Structure 1
């Protein structure tokens, strides 16, 4: 039998290790350890309390005509997608928050169980110039989706509790984290565009950029 001598092969032909370097691992641990927990008291979502971020839509009698209390939707930039999504293990804490620049979004729980949503006002900008930023904001970023925005501030974040048979309509650009809930799993209906999660998904990381993790108190 012919014996092959492979000792001449250079060592760099071996597959490189995928493990994090000690420095990278230590840095990741430091980021987690240094994050400050901020507790937020949940506010009951009503048409008045949620108005800066969107609408709260409750049941109405059959036959009512369309009016200002109905969801004011903008689905004009693509194909609408209405579906039921199942979420699991979404505990009452978050460190990232997302906005959609091209569509309003509607969310509601199947069965009317209690759930929670962290929000901050939309901060989409017309262009990159500082003169176009909201008052008090100095940082301007360009999303991978192509638009400009000012990152949300930790002090501007609040949390809403949604109870009973109602749903939320989020204004275009409203920052949101959730749905979150206390049970093991929940089903939600979701109205957005068919490609929202692919081409219109801008996220801010509070843990990384601000050293903050939010904890929801009910």
Structure 2
């Protein structure tokens, strides 16, 4: 939020509630090349929230499954795909299953806020080819 000079900034329940206390936060830019719209793996992080957004204003897609699902097996019927406008960012709650970001652009730069070791120590992936012999395509 941007506040006029002299106005106090108040943090409240409408602001994104981030969980980055379990390590060193890392804010970085990742460039993804023509990710397409097919996936068979979905991931979750148990130690932090994650925020993602497109830098160039390009639309993209994200697949999510609620965080209350079994630790190893997301509930297939609860997978949901969301188109994300290029001028928005998203926050994934702790342990939310997610696949993406996906897009058909040649490349997109995304900003990503997570912990510095998220992709090493806090990266749990489910493979639908192994469990259900499935590959999904978003339309």
TM-score where L is the length of structure 2: 0.91
The structure carrying a bigger helix percent of its residues is: 1
Question: 1:184, 1:72 → 2: CA distance?
Answer: 33
Q: Which runs of 5+ in 2 are unaligned?
A: none
Q: Superposition pairs for residues 1-218 of structure 1, below 5 Å? A: 60-62=1-3, 64-123=9-68, 149-217=71-139
Indicate the SS of the match to 1:87. Answer: strand
RMSD (Å) for aligned C-alpha atoms = 1.5
Question: 1:98, 1:62 → 2: CA distance?
Answer: 37
Indicate the SS of the match to 1:179. Answer: strand
Question: 2:105, 2:80 → 1: CA distance?
Answer: 21
Following TM superposition, the consecutive aligned residue runs of length 4 or more in structure 1 with deviations greater than 2 angstroms are: 60-65
Query: How far is the alpha carbon of 1:184 from its aligned partner?
Result: 1.1
For residues 58-83 of structure 1, what are the alpha-carbon distances to aligned partners after superposition, in whole Å with 9 as ceiling and x for unaligned? xx443552222221001110000000
Question: 2:3, 2:33 → 1: CA distance?
Answer: 34
For residues 77-136 of structure 1, what are the alpha-carbon distances to aligned partners after superposition, in whole Å with 9 as ceiling and x for unaligned? 00000001111121011100000000000000002210000110113xxxxxxxxxx6xx
Asked whether the 8 Å contact 1:154–1:212 carries over to 2, the reply is no
TM-score where L is the length of structure 1: 0.59
Question: 2:88, 2:12 → 1: CA distance?
Answer: 17
